[in-house]
Amino acid sequence: MMMQMMLIKSALALYAAATGMALTYLFSKDDKWSLWMLRLLGIGVLCHLGSFGARQYLFWQIPENRWFFSINSFFGALSFLALAVAAAFFVIEREHRLGILGAFVLPCAALGTGAAVIFADPATRGLPPALQSYWMNIHPMVLMAAYAMFGNAFGVGLALLIQEHQIKSRKPSELCYRLPSIEELDNLNYKIIVAAFPILTAGIIMGGVWAYEAWGRFWGWDAKETWSLVTALLYAGYLHMRLVRGLRGRKAVYVSMLAFASVIFTFFGVNYLSDLHGYLSARG
């Protein structure tokens, strides 16, 4: 337990420091800040993985939990999600050389980890029989991978709104020349969402299959189910508008941000509404 908390707190500190580097890099053109951001982030991800490993060890001390991933609790899920956001950023940033976007994405990873440390209960308990399924290792993981990608798209969208505003204002600050172009941000936002959408859809369908096996029905309008459907429909709406209607730029980003708000609500808000998926009601 101590190990787990020590490591996740180190990860939190490193994410916060990496965010600080990212913000500094936003206003200073020295590449060393970007480099340090990546280094700190990399070590942070490793600490976070370590923390997750330590948690897994504790989790498996309880016999019925053996070989299931420990992401059924609020702490486990939030910690995993923040880890996924940081790791996804690491991959996307290195691919596209857009360290500047760290200022918009890394705060999500730091806030997620911070919320887990401060608000969630890290204790590990035995899995209820309904969750003792191999789906436990697939369904939430797949969805959270999609959420992490959407989190990155949100950061990209935020950067686009700032860039668009800069240029529309006719008084661009230095930031304007540091950020990627509107077209690049628009394309990246789209590319991330178009890659994450099938993952989200697959995750939801898997949930349905699991629900059929566990509860005998594919879909039951549980709050989590309903809101995940809303999320999927909003992202589908974004893709439709962009591909069919040619809606791009600022307004397209508004739609994708609305969809991300739905992600956040599905993840956090639904805990208070859902009987079956509530991390906090401890029944799910």
Closest alpha carbon to 8 in 112, 93, 88, 105? 112
Check residue 97 for interaction with other proteins (CB under 8 A): no
Stretch that binds other proteins, among 132-140, 142-150, 163-171, 206-214 (CB under 8 A): 163-171
Check residue 249 for interaction with other proteins (CB under 8 A): yes
d(CA 82, CA 73): 14
Q: Which of 91, 167, 195, 209 binds other proteins (CB under 8 A)?
A: 167
d(CA 51, CA 11): 9
d(CA 55, CA 50): 9
Check residue 176 for interaction with other proteins (CB under 8 A): yes
Q: Which of 66, 165, 168, 240 binds other proteins (CB under 8 A)?
A: 168
Q: Which of 102, 107, 157, 180 binds other proteins (CB under 8 A)?
A: 180
Give whichever of 62 and 247 is closer to other proteins, judged by the CB atom.
247
Check residue 183 for interaction with other proteins (CB under 8 A): yes
Q: Minimum distance from CB of 23 to other proteins (Å)?
A: 18
Stretch that binds other proteins, among 61-69, 143-151, 172-180, 257-265 (CB under 8 A): 172-180
Residues whose CB is less than 8 angstroms from the CB of residue 202 and which lie 6 or more positions away in sequence, other chains included: 142
Check residue 251 for interaction with other proteins (CB under 8 A): yes
Give whichever of 13 and 247 is closer to other proteins, judged by the CB atom.
247
Give whichever of 31 and 213 is closer to other proteins, judged by the CB atom.
31
Give whichever of 65 and 166 is closer to other proteins, judged by the CB atom.
166
Check residue 165 for interaction with other proteins (CB under 8 A): no
Q: Minimum distance from CB of 94 to other proteins (Å)?
A: 19
- The residues that touch other proteins, with contacts defined as CB under 8 A, are 29-30, 163, 166-168, 170-172, 174, 176-177, 179-184, 242, 246-252
